[in-house]
Amino acid sequence: MGKQFEGLGRKHAAFINDQHIFFTASAAATGRANVSPRSTDAFRILNPTTVAYLDETGSGNETAAHLRLTGRLTLMFCSFGADPMILRLYGKGRSLWKDSPEYRSVLNSAYDNKPPPGARQIVCIALDSLQVSCGNGVPMFEFTRVRTTLRERAAAKGEAWLATYRSNNNAVSIDGFETGLPAVEHTKVA
């Protein structure tokens, strides 16, 4: 049985800082559930009951669609090293879209006003609870390096191309739910 907490403490923060990956899980009332891996370099603890991660342009945006419909979001950090542990953060999330006042405020305060190439939103989560469990069933892996392909591609394509790509590929989920992506002028991209 896992241990429940109402907010993040120093030990939780230290555990998160030692990880290289976390996973997001979201779902609407119908359709597919979504689980996505994220790099912890995008994750920030804003206070003991609020966290955020800077989300980059990808092939879809299921999380944003689910947040619009239910707001429910679970984040999972697990140790792949010698000290086993799983930390789950449960809460209500919302998308702070690129260039919105809220996005700029969090970008400035939590990310030194330095978005990576391809940034599309910051997902902000108000935590309801946390759970720590043993993690003894998680296999051990050795971290080698951060993958840079997504950011390199975003930098090479440029912001105009990315805005059009997001408009064409990130406005609707695979189940047909709107993500809330702000409208931009449609131009077909190659």
Q: Is residue 175 part of a domain?
A: no
Q: Is residue 185 part of a domain?
A: no
Q: Is residue 189 part of a domain?
A: no
pLDDT in tens, 42-91: 999 999 999 999 999 999 999 999 999 999 999 999 999 999 999 999 99
Q: Is residue 160 part of a domain?
A: yes
Distance CA 155, CA 157 (A): 6
Alpha helix stretches (DSSP H) within 48-145: 62-69, 101-110
Q: What is the CATH number of the domain that holds 29?
A: 2.30.110.10
Q: Is residue 116 part of a domain?
A: yes
How many domains, in total, are found in the chain?
A: 1
Q: Is residue 16 part of a domain?
A: yes
CA 108 to chain centre: 18
Cβ atoms 164, 187 nearer than 8 A: yes
Q: Is residue 85 part of a domain?
A: yes
Residue 183 binned pLDDT confidence (cut-offs 50, 70, 90):
confident
Q: Which domain holds residue 17?
A: 3-169
pLDDT in tens, 160-172: 999 999 999 999 9
The angle subtended at Cα 128 by Cα 69 and Cα 78, nearest 5°, is 95
